[in-house]
Structure 1
Amino acid sequence: MDAISTLIRMARLEASVDVRCLLTGSHTLDNPPRPPGEVPFHVLLEGSCVAESGGHTLELSAGDVLVLPRAGQHRLRVTAQAPPVRAERREGASVTTLRSDGVPSVDLFCGHYAYRPGAGALLFGGLPDVLHASFGMAANSPLRLLGELMRNEASIDGPGAGALLASLCEALLALALREGGTAERQTAAFSGPWTAVVDPGLQAVVDAVVQEPGRPWTLAGLAEVAGVSRATLVRRFSTATGVGVAEFLTRTRMTVAADLLTTTERGLDDIAASVGYRSASAFGRAFRAVTGTTPARLRRSAARRST
């Protein structure tokens, strides 16, 4: 399994569409901070709007996906050349719709990803504050078919619509993690995720570490995987991902460890060895440095959440 699929599986996400917005005229959508363990996202399938988050402003157009890993307060503005138009909120069986009178010029899905303590927090914690991926809605866009499926399920709102939309939203995250970091989409304010490196050598390094976290990786060994010198690997990896090779290696190992701690009953010595540590104490120190908690506390917290 590839690195992105593995990471999403370990995160144990629960995706949900909170509201579908079918709007005409001008609107301001204020979004309060999400509680811990939730990450908001927006998918714009038609029209345009402006997102304001953390002092940054970002213009969104049809085919854009916006994920906000820090779950902070943010605002979406539909700035049509028209006065504000009243919108009515309608509760469906699985989908809530905010709709204004007239033919909508904006089709926007707003939702969130929920995750349990552990691997999900590490996955989102390693992403930029604002993850923005632009796919467009042309015939060859990967979002075109996905968007049509979302529209159909939301419109019908029949049996199973909630589950189907949740699966489609998980697919959206996979697309954003895969495509959000291409060079033409990065700006000074909004960088892409490390998962979206386009250099084949760096992709090979990411996949190798995610698939074999317990291997005694060295800089020389990872440079060999990438097919470059150690100095070149360090320079390219940092430039492409925003993190150092050692930090990436440790964070990936802790993500795998968090998944094992929260989904299995394996002992700490066993888990430590599985992610490349010779002792539970060394593993515990590294785990606390990355997550701010101990392996035992994380396991207890996950157990409480599941009861």
Structure 2
Amino acid sequence: MDGISRLLRMARLEATLDKRCRLAGSTRMEVDPEGARDIPFHVLLEGECTLEVGGELYPMKAGDVAVIPSGGVHRILTAGTGAVHGTVERRGTSLAFTSSAEGGSPVMDLFCGHYNVGAGAGAILFGSLPTPTLASVFDSEDGRAALTRLAELMRSEAEHDTEGSAAIMSALCTVLIALVLRTSGTAGGRARLWTANPDDQLGGVIRRILAEPGEDWSIIALSRQLAMSRATFIRRFSAGTGMTYGVFLTRARLMTAADLLVSSDSTISTIAARVGYQSESAFSRAFRTAVGETPARFRRQQRQLSTDSS
């Protein structure tokens, strides 16, 4: 299994498409915060708009996808003359349809939804992404072709909005986040995502660690394998991923550990060794720092949730 597919499987991600927005003129749409582990996203299929997060403005063009890992209130703005208007919404079978309160011809076509992620690997994965994460899917020929096909299906289901549409659109939104995570360039000149590192050498290191997190991945061993100095490896890794090598290695190991705690009956000490920790106590400290719970409590909570939902 490839690295991104493995990450999404471990994240236990559920995708929901909430609404289609066709805004006109000068409009401001407020987006309220979701739940604790709900990650809002927006995909702009046509036109232009501006995303406002934390007081910062981020222009978006057709083919751009915005993911807001931190959640929270944010806004979608469209430019136009005259006063700024709000939005009106009508409810369909499986999603809402939002338009400018003053009407007019739409200047953009935007789909909005959210991802609900698991408390372990999912929270760690999305916590490693910048807020906002802005990906220009149209910047590559393959990305343009994929998003064009995806857009056709999303629009078709939105127009029909009938039995089964919610399930189909959920699957399409899962495809969308896979496209984002493998997009090597991001919108507005922002840093590349570590999940799509274009450096062949570092990308190979990332894939190998995700596949076998328990191996000896010391900087000295890796730098020798790549025929570069330790300092060069550290510098290139940080520049290419936006995090230190140590932070990445810890996250990779703990994502796998969280997955194993839920999906296997292995003891905590066995899991700790499998993901590269020399002692159960060191693993438990690192896990609690990342997830907020000890491995044992996390396992009990996740199993209880699984029992309650079955």
Closer, same or farther in 2 for the Cα pair 1:207/1:167, shift >3 Å? Answer: same
Report 1:90-169 matches (<5 A). 90-100=90-100, 101-136=103-138, 141=144, 142-169=146-173
Distance between the aligned counterparts of 1:35 and 1:93, measured in 2? 22
Distance between the aligned counterparts of 1:3 and 1:103, measured in 2? 43
Amino acid at match of 1:143: L
1:167 counterpart SS class: helix
Closer, same or farther in 2 for the Cα pair 1:47/1:235, shift >3 Å? Answer: same
Report deviation, 1:93: 1.7
Which of 261-270 and 206-215 deviates more?
Answer: 261-270
Distance between the aligned counterparts of 1:137 and 1:94, measured in 2? 31
- Please say if residues 65 and 134 of structure 2, whose CA atoms lie closer than 8 Å, have aligned partners that are also in contact: yes
Which of 16-25 and 190-199 deviates more?
Answer: 190-199
Which of 158-167 and 111-120 deviates more?
Answer: 158-167
Q: Can you list the C-alpha shifts for 1:5-46, whole angstroms capped at 9, x where unaligned? A: 110110010100111112222221111222201000000111
Which of 153-162 and 296-305 deviates more?
Answer: 296-305
Report 1:216-231 matches (<5 A). 216-231=216-231
Cα RMSD for the two superposed structures: 2.2
* 1:54 partnered with 2:58: no
Identity %: 45
Report deviation, 1:225: 5.0
Report deviation, 1:186: 5.8
Q: Can you list the C-alpha shifts for 1:208-264, whole angstroms capped at 9, x where unaligned? A: 000001112211332345453332211100111121112111111001101111233
Which of 221-230 and 25-34 deviates more?
Answer: 221-230
Distance between the aligned counterparts of 2:84 and 2:298, measured in 1? 47
Q: Which residue of 2 aligns with 1:77?
A: 77
Report 1:1-307 matches (<5 A). 1-81=1-81, 88-100=88-100, 101-136=103-138, 141=144, 142-179=146-183, 181-182=184-185, 185=187, 187=189, 190-306=190-306, 307=308
Distance between the aligned counterparts of 2:27 and 2:140, measured in 1? 26
1:47 counterpart SS class: strand
Distance between the aligned counterparts of 1:29 and 1:56, measured in 2? 15
Distance between the aligned counterparts of 1:138 and 1:236, measured in 2? 24
Amino acid at match of 1:147: A
Distance between the aligned counterparts of 1:137 and 1:218, measured in 2? 35
Count of equivalent residues: 303
Distance between the aligned counterparts of 1:134 and 1:115, measured in 2? 23
2:215 counterpart SS class: coil
Q: TM-score, normalised by structure 1?
A: 0.91
Distance between the aligned counterparts of 1:203 and 1:186, measured in 2? 23
- Please say if residues 38 and 114 of structure 1, whose CA atoms lie closer than 8 Å, have aligned partners that are also in contact: yes
Closer, same or farther in 2 for the Cα pair 1:206/1:85, shift >3 Å? Answer: same
Report deviation, 1:206: 0.4
Closer, same or farther in 2 for the Cα pair 1:139/1:261, shift >3 Å? Answer: closer
Distance between the aligned counterparts of 2:212 and 2:124, measured in 1? 18
Closer, same or farther in 2 for the Cα pair 1:102/1:210, shift >3 Å? Answer: same
Moved beyond 3 Å, runs of 4+ = 81-88, 99-103, 136-140, 184-187, 224-229
Which of 91-100 and 53-62 deviates more?
Answer: 91-100
1:192 counterpart SS class: coil
Q: Can you list the C-alpha shifts for 1:248-297, whole angstroms capped at 9, x where unaligned? A: 11111001101111233321022112201233222112222333321112
Closer, same or farther in 2 for the Cα pair 1:162/1:226, shift >3 Å? Answer: farther
Q: TM-score, normalised by structure 2?
A: 0.90
